Structures are given as C-alpha cells and as structure tokens.
A and B are shown apart, each in its own frame.
Chain A
Amino acid sequence: MDFSSILTNALWEFFNPITAAYALGALGLAVHFGYAGLLNFGQAGFMAVGAYGFAIAVLTFGAPLWAAFLVALVCSLALAALLGIPTLRLRADYLAIVTIAAAEIIRYVVTTNELTDVTGSANGLAAFEGGFYDLSPIPSGSYSLGFTVISSRTLWMLIVSWAAVAVCAVLIWLLMRSPWGRVLKGIREDEDAVRSLGKNVFSYKMQALMLGGVLGSLAGMIFVLNTGSVQPANFGTELTFFLWTCLLLGGMTTVLGPILGAMIFWVVLSLTQGILTGLVESGTVTFITTVQAGQLRYILVGVALMMLMIFRPQGILGNRKELVFS
C-alpha cells in the first residue's frame, strides 16, 4: 500500500476546487439555516441553477464570461424569490419539502430529453469554460505545491475558487456582525419577538434565502468550471445532504465551520477511500471489492450525519447555546 500517495491525495483535498465549491455551498446553507433558521434541502437546486445558468448562457446565447456569471446569479435570485414568496410563511419542515421538491424539479427538467438542445439532457454540457481559463494570467506549465504538482489550469481554478470562498466568508462574517445579521439571528431565535419590534420578518428571511442561494450558485459554477462539464446526475439530493454533513460537521452558526467542514469531509473521504482501496488491492482485505470500498465511504457519510446530529449538533466550531434547534 502506497501511503505517500494516499496522504498526497488526502492533502490535495484541502486545496481541491471541489472542496471550495462544497465550502461555498455549505456556507450558503449556514446563512439559510444557521443564521436565519430556514431549512433548505434544495441547495443542490441552487447549485444546478448556477451551473446550468452559466453553461447555457455561454453555449446557447454565446454570452461573454461576465454576462454568463451575472445570468447565473440572477437565476439563483429568481429561484430564491420563486421559492421564498409562497413558502417562507410556512412551518420549517414544509419549507424543507418544498425546497427538496424544487431541486428535484430542476434536476428532472435539465435531464429531460425534450430539452436536449439546451441542456444536453443526461449527458450534460461541456466546453463552456474556455472564457474563464482564457482569463488566467498564469503562464502555462506545471507548478509545485510542495507535495504535488498541478497544471497552470488547475492552479488558476484553485486560486479563483479559494479567493471566492475567502471573499464570501469575510462578507458573511461582516454581515452577520452588522445590525442586519443581528436581526436575522433574532428571527432564528424568536420570530414573533422580532416581528413585535416592527421588523419585516418576511423580508429579512427572503434576503437570507437569496444570499444563501447566490452562494449556492457560485458553488455550482466553481463545481462545473473545475471539471469543465455539467451533468445533471451530480445535482441530486445526495449533493444537498453532503453539504448538510459539511455544515453540521463544522458548525452551522459559524462562518469558518462550513469551510472547515467541507475540508474535513473531503479529506476524510479521500483517506478512507485510499486506505480501503489500498487494503483491498494489497490483498489484506479480501471480503470486499474496490467498488464496494467506494460505497463504504458513503455509508460512513450517512453514519457521520446521524451521529453528529444526535451527539454533537453544534459541530466542531459551534456553540451549543446558539443552536437553531434545542
């Protein structure tokens, strides 16, 4: 078993743009649930809207990079409004069901063969990321990160994605310290109390839904720019629940929590995958196949999600007093 490559792969997950995408998506959930108490089970839908909004704007309408970016953001704002206007007055678990249904509707719509010309149906879309990588000021070649060597293309993606995470994290941190953020947290704790102070609770919730949705669509764009393709199967309900695992792992009422959670999520997945596959390939473990080793880690995610929720709902960084649910 090659421990150094397993460690290298795991270490890479700290920097992987996919981890950054998960961090952003989970940060969006932190805004939704951790700060505003909105139970959004459809973050995959926001990510899909960002990803497809961007890709379709480029491929179908030939939009330049900045326009495609704006289209993706506007789409996620529109989705938030569409979901929020009718449902924000409903009970928390109803919002959860509505958002998960909306995310599935989006996935079915981008998967259908009826719209193959626009969405590429189950095959998805590719070759929309050219404009983004053309912006890269980094001379082509290979670059060393100390433990691994990456291409200039990956380096550019890495810098942009983590810069986006940093900017968003600082922004959210500042927002949550502002009067706006305090009202939001007040709504989370006691909606009626805040309402009695004359605040428009609905409007605050809507803004939080939109803010988290925009973070989701950013995450979606990073997700697909990194791989250079967008596929509907990636935006299933599992994605949302993985983001929830990241969020609960790190701590949902913190800004660094979701980011740390995403990193731990991917590092642990990579480590278990590497070790299990190594054990199977070296013949130490004979009763499972490498394919089963890959599935074992998702069992691990499920168990982790349950255990976290039962035994440490505040996550690693969170404060038990500041829990959304007692």
Chain B
Amino acid sequence: MTHDLVRRPRWKRTALVALALGLLAILGGFLAGPAAASAVAATDTLAGGTAPVISGSLRNEGEPLAGVRITATGDAGTVETTSEDDGRWQIEVPAKGTYSVELDESTLPDGVSLADGQENPREVSFGNTTRAGVIFQFGAGGGAAAAPAPSGADDTTAVPSSPPTAGETAAPGTTTDTGTGGRAFGVVLGARARAGLTFGLILALCSVGLNLILGTTGLNNFSHGETVTLGAVLAFAFAALGLPMWLAIIAAVAGGGLYGYLNDTLLWRPLRRRRAGLVPMMIVSIGFALTVRYILQFFFGGSTRQLPYAQGPVFDLGPFSITRNNLVSMLVALAVVIIVSLLLMKSKIGKATRAVADNPALASASGIDVDRVIRIIWITGAALAALGGILYAYYRPGVTFNMGQQILLMMFAAVTLGGLGTVFGALVGSLIVGIFVEISTIWLSADLKYVGALVIMILVLVFRPQGILGRKERIG
C-alpha cells in the first residue's frame, strides 16, 4: 500500500465531499414541494385495484376509540361503520367522488370530545387513489392528541387489513387526495426528492457508525439496526416517564452512546483480543441482533407507538410547504452530518479515526491508540444511530421493535455504495440511497421501494465492490 503515501492529500477530497453534501442539501431544500405529496404517493399505489375506501384511526391522547359511528354520505348514498377496538375504521364506498364524512359525537366515550375547530362533518374527495384518509382530532385541539395509525408505507409485512393512512402528511384537515397523475411530474419529483433527502440524511446518521466500525475493525455489524431501534425506544420510554421531549431525545442519544460503549467493552473488544475471525464475528453480531431485537420487543411489545409530537403543523412557505417534523429532522440531521464531517476532517480524534480506518497497523505504529479510537467510534457511532432512530421514528412515523432491522440493509446498501469502510462513504451513499428509494416510488409500488436500492447494492458489489469512494485494495 505504498502508493497511499503519494496520493493527493486526503483532506482535499474530504473537503470536496463535504462541499458536495452541502450543495445537495441546499438543492434539496429548494426542492421541497407541496406538503401533501410526500409520503402519501406511497400509500395510494398500495391499494391499487380495490374498491374505494375511506379510512382513518380514532385516537384520543394515544388511546384508541372503539365503537364510534362514522357515516360517509355521497352522491351514491350513505354508508356507515363503527371503529374497531384499535380505533381503526374504514368505509368501502361504491364509487370515487366527494363524500361528507361525519363522526357521530353521541357515540364517543364519556369525557372525549372533538377538538375545538374540528370540522364535523368533513368533506373528503378521492384523487387518483382508491384510498382517502380522514383524521378527526380530539381533546383540546393541537397536534399531539390525534396520532395517525401506523403507516404501512415502510412496513411491507403489515397486514393488508390495516389501511395505511396518511403518514407524514396527516396534518389537521388534510385528506390524502394525492396521486401522481393529477399533478405535474416536476412537483411530484421535487416532493419525492425532498422526502428522499430527509430519509437519506437520517440514513447517513444511522450508517456512519456502521461504516466506521467496518472500516476500523472489519466487522459487518448486523446488530447496528438494533442500535437504531434502541434510540427510538429509549426516546419513547423517557418521554413516557414524563421527561420533556428535548430532554428525552438527549437522554436517548446518550443512552445510545452508553450502549455503544458497553457493546465494545463487553463484547467486541474481548472478541478482538481473542483474534476472532471476521466471519465468526459477523455471525456473533447476528446472534446479538436477534437477542437485542427480542429484548426490545419483550419490553416494548409488538405494536407501533407514536412519539410525542408525531403529528405537527405544516409550515407554508409561499409555494412550498413542509411538515414541522420533516423540516426539523432535515435540519438536525444536516447539522449533525456537517459537524461529524468537520470533526472527522479537523479534530485530532477525527484524523486518528481516518488513519485507523485507512490502515490500523500503520496507525498503531505511528503512536495512535487504536483501541481508544475504536471505542470512541463505537460510542459516537451508536449515539448517532440512536439519534437517527429517533428521527426515523418521526419520519416513518412510529416506533416499533424491528424498525432498525427494516433499514439495516438500506444502511448496508448505503455504505456499500459509498465505499465499505471509507469515512465519508456512508454519507454519500446514504444520500444517494435515500433519494433513490423515494424517487423510485414514482414508478415503483411503495412496497417495493427498497428493492431498487438492494438491486443497486448487489450491482455495486459485483461491478465496483470498493464503492464510489473506496479503493480497490479494500476488497481483499
């Protein structure tokens, strides 16, 4: 690897990458399209070919409301239903069109009433889709009270009887009348690109640790998805304990870092000391992933639960609008990604990290404490993954015990594409994968959106295993 020494200075390349990232982000900001089109273009294709359905989920402060009568009146007549035990309801209507959906307030449980300003009955119209979602707000008004049902868009194993409702865009008073047909292509593309940028930035937070651990220790860490889940679950738990949300998030990220520290100290460092091979370590990480996943399920349960403020207002910025959560997620992820990039480029520990990722033996010989660097990578990587998990829980939306596992392969796709083990590979790869996944839903059914990224990952591994930023000798 002598030619390493005569390569052009690495910081130049990393600076270029950071610049490119910044530009992409700014571009994405302008691409922010009209609010309604983001996550919902996904849900309409899910229901293709079935009878038109109006559906929703009734929740008051997170508690499902059962047995509430809802009627839909349209040109073709009146249909009525009552909500299930889990608060869900759906009405099959004879034809698309405009319906007036009314909630019978006398069937609401005692002490529960519609929020101030909640329209009842409400007008719902179908776009090009066969599903329309309606959300009724209860209690004292405000965003947090009525949480939408778990979106099916990210969870392909969802039972089809649970209608995917408006996820990201379930803002008060909006209905999901989106469809690619009735809308200019550019607008849809912009909306998907913006959603993809958010997803890509979240993915970048999640996969930085995965890639740095891979780069420094050679471990394909299959339990990294569980770190992502842990962040979201911890945030949920701390919030449920009564902590304010900002404190809960900080505590959850700190918890993630502690988890990373314990991971390294109790499991991986002893294994490195034993000189365990890479394949056995990979299988150990799989066993560890199963263990942690089901421990999380043991305590958290199998259901999807919403974090506080899962439903926020929509900001109108002239021609553009964006949900508050999306905007905040994007900004937080972008800021953290930039800080991490700067730290990697400028700080002492960042330089040491890059040195270890480049060549652990050489780094060790030049006086870098490799074990310490690896420990710090585990801590920060896990903390970043935890933060990514919290933002991902807002993005999907909802917290489940296997949410991290669902995007583990997306993280692998991102680091593979960017360059296995390279420091900035995870960032570049994540943005590309995130944007690609979301844009592909314009043509692909939403439940196939991960397929495209997986196919690309396979193609990259076959034709350019070192990825975009990697160098050939890494492929061994």
Contact A299 B286 (CB under 8 A): no
Q: Which residues of B contact A233 (CB under 8 A)?
A: 157
CA distance A123 to B156 in the complex (A): 12
Q: Which residues of B contact A107 (CB under 8 A)?
A: 156
Given A97-B220, A112-B447, A302-B287: A102 in contact with B458 (beta carbons within 8 A): yes
Contact B457 A101 (CB under 8 A): yes
* Interface flag for A301 (CB, 8 Å): yes
| Chain B nearest CB, measured from A90 CB (Å) | 6
Q: Which residues of B contact A91 (CB under 8 A)?
A: 465, 475-476
Chain A residue at minimum C-beta to C-beta distance from B292: A302
| Chain A nearest CB, measured from B52 CB (Å) | 15
| Chain A nearest CB, measured from B291 CB (Å) | 3
* Interface flag for A286 (CB, 8 Å): no
Contact B298 A109 (CB under 8 A): no
Given A299-B295, A309-B287: A104 in contact with B157 (beta carbons within 8 A): no
Given A305-B287, A306-B284: A97 in contact with B448 (beta carbons within 8 A): no
Given A90-B465, A97-B412, A302-B290: A108 in contact with B280 (beta carbons within 8 A): no
Given A97-B457, A313-B280: A299 in contact with B294 (beta carbons within 8 A): yes
Number of interchain pairs (Cβ within 8 Å): 151
Q: Which residues of A contact B413 (CB under 8 A)?
A: 101
Which B265-293 residues have a C-beta within 8 angstroms of A? 271, 276-280, 282-284, 286-293
Q: How many residues of A contact B (CB 8 A)?
A: 57
CA distance A108 to B271 in the complex (A): 35
Given A90-B462, A100-B409, A325-B279: A244 in contact with B286 (beta carbons within 8 A): yes
Q: Which residues of B contact A301 (CB under 8 A)?
A: 287, 290
**Would you give the 0/1 interface string for A299-316, flagging 1 where the beta carbon is closer than 8 Å to chain B?**
101111111111001000
Given A112-B448, A299-B295: A94 in contact with B465 (beta carbons within 8 A): yes
**Would you give the 0/1 interface string for A58-102, flagging 1 where the beta carbon is closer than 8 Å to chain B?**
000000000000000000000000000011001111101110111
Q: Which residues of A contact B277 (CB under 8 A)?
A: 325-326
Given A241-B286, A305-B287: A122 in contact with B455 (beta carbons within 8 A): no
Q: Which residues of A contact B465 (CB under 8 A)?
A: 90-91, 94
CA distance A248 to B286 in the complex (A): 13
**Would you give the 0/1 interface string for A38-66, flagging 1 where the beta carbon is closer than 8 Å to chain B?**
01000000000000000000000000000
Given A108-B451, A301-B290: A114 in contact with B160 (beta carbons within 8 A): no
**Would you give the 0/1 interface string for B132-154, flagging 1 where the beta carbon is closer than 8 Å to chain A?**
00000000000000000000000
* Interface flag for B416 (CB, 8 Å): yes
5 CB < 8 A contacts A-B: A105-B451, A111-B157, A112-B156, A122-B158, A302-B293
Which A-B residue pairs are the 7 nearest by beta carbons?
A305-B287, A302-B290, A302-B291, A306-B287, A86-B462, A298-B294, A325-B277
**Given A108-B451, A112-B447, A325-B277, 9 more contacts at CB 8 Å?**
A94-B465, A97-B220, A104-B454, A108-B156, A112-B156, A302-B288, A302-B294, A303-B291, A310-B271
